[in-house]
Amino acid sequence: MIVVGGGVIGLTTAVELAERGRRVRVWAREAAEHTTSAVAGGLWWPYRIEPEEQVGDWSLRSLAVYEKLAADPERTGVRMVDGVHADTGLDGLGPWAARVSGLRAATAEECAGPGLWARLPLIDMPAHLVWLRERLRAAGGAVEQRTAHRLDEALAQAPDVVNCSGLGARGLVPDDSVRPVRGQLVLVENPGLRTWYTAADPASSATTYILPQPGRLVLGGTADDGDWSLEPDPAVARAIVERCARVRPEIASARVLGHRVGLRPSRPAVRLEREPRGADGALVHNYGHGGAGVTVAWGCARAAADLVENRPAP
């Protein structure tokens, strides 16, 4: 079978299928290190994704996997790290929040205003994508650098195809409801921060997050709906650093290491659906994860694999 798409959703789905005994090939337009997934900040948290009633289960399934992977952070890229979601309360979250161990209101010392303290998976995405690719190969799967122009190309070569093409689904399906939500971030030297911080204003495209990753501090960010530009904007970068420095003043003097831009594959709701093809084959769609692809990757991979096997998704 073929999985179309080599980002975190495609690779995780391919691993799930290969470890169930399927012979899997991933068609990746580019190396995983060059996908939108590689640019992601990597903090587990349901963000900019629908439908809410299913996202919680997908997220919790993924959380359970990441908690286990965090036992070997050097290989998997997954660490459990403390931090604060500012301007967030438990009453504003779905039922899934009650099942996140240790999630609680932040103290005055932890957050200047209202917020939530949590110990969550923080994933070094470049390292994690390499690990996923190697885990797939260990399970007998393969990654091929190949661009699909139509899903029928894959269906002509395999009876079962899983479409994990992300933003590419806009033209590949085609699905006009898929649109980019542009995210820009700045990489700086870490002046010694060990905890993460986020603050997102739903009424603004500007967000603030500080994520300590190995060898760098990731500062963000933006959520520019419908913006296709992949070029870093110097003015936006300066604003990001200024916002983060208001939270942690030592960031103001941190040396800039680089700039990154990614386009989140947004959709009104994730499309996780099976289309029967031929006598025994199927086209399964698994795309539209917005800003939470990392968060739901393992939960959606399991659901997609169940659909391939023609079992009802949980």
**Binding annotation:** 36-37, 209, 264, 290-295
Burial of 249 (0-12, 13-18, 19+ CB in 10 A): exposed
Residue 113 in tokens: 């205003």
Binding residues for FAD: 36-37, 290-295
Q: Which helix (H) or strand (E) holds 151?
A: helix 151-155
Percentage helix, strand, coil for the chain under 3-state DSSP, each rounded to 5:
35, 30, 35
CA distance 149 to 106: 48
Report the candidate in 237, 241, 239 with the shortest Cα–Cα distance to residue 254: 241
Can you tell me whether residue 185 is helix, strand or coil? strand
Q: Which residues contact 32 (CB under 8 A, 6 or more apart)?
A: 6, 7, 11, 38, 129, 130, 132, 133, 143
Phi, psi of 34 (to 5 degrees): -110, 10
Q: Cβ of 195: how many Cβ atoms within 10 Å?
A: 16
Cα four-point dihedral sign 27, 28, 31, 37? negative
* Contact assessment for residue 253 and residue 191, using Cβ atoms and an 8 Å cutoff: yes
CA distance 113 to 106: 9
Report the candidate in 45, 77, 50 with the shortest Cα–Cα distance to residue 60: 45
Residue 182 in tokens: 């542009």
Binding residues for D-dopa: 209, 264, 291
